[in-house]
Amino acid sequence: MPGAPMLVNFSNPDVFLHPGEFYFGSQSRHVGTLLGSCVAVTVWYPNGRLGGMSHIVLPQRQRPAGAILDCRYADEAIERFFRELQARQVSPTQCHVKLFGGGNMFAGGRAANNIDVGRRNIEATRDALASFGFQVMSESVGGAVRRRLSLDLHTGSVWMASPVGQ
SS3 85: helix
Spell out the domains of the chain, with CATH numbers in brackets. Answer: 16-148 (3.30.1330.200)
Q: How far apart are CA 46 and CA 85, in angstroms?
A: 12
pLDDT digits (tens, 9 = 90+) for 16-31: 999 999 999 988 789 9
Q: Residues 6 or more apart from 105 whose CB is under 8 A from it?
A: 36, 37, 118, 144, 146
The pLDDT of 151-166, averaged and rounded, is 86
User: pLDDT of 51-90, one tens digit each?
Assistant: 999 999 999 999 888 899 999 999 999 999 999 999 999 9
Q: What is the pLDDT of residue 148?
A: 96
CA distance 110 to 106: 8
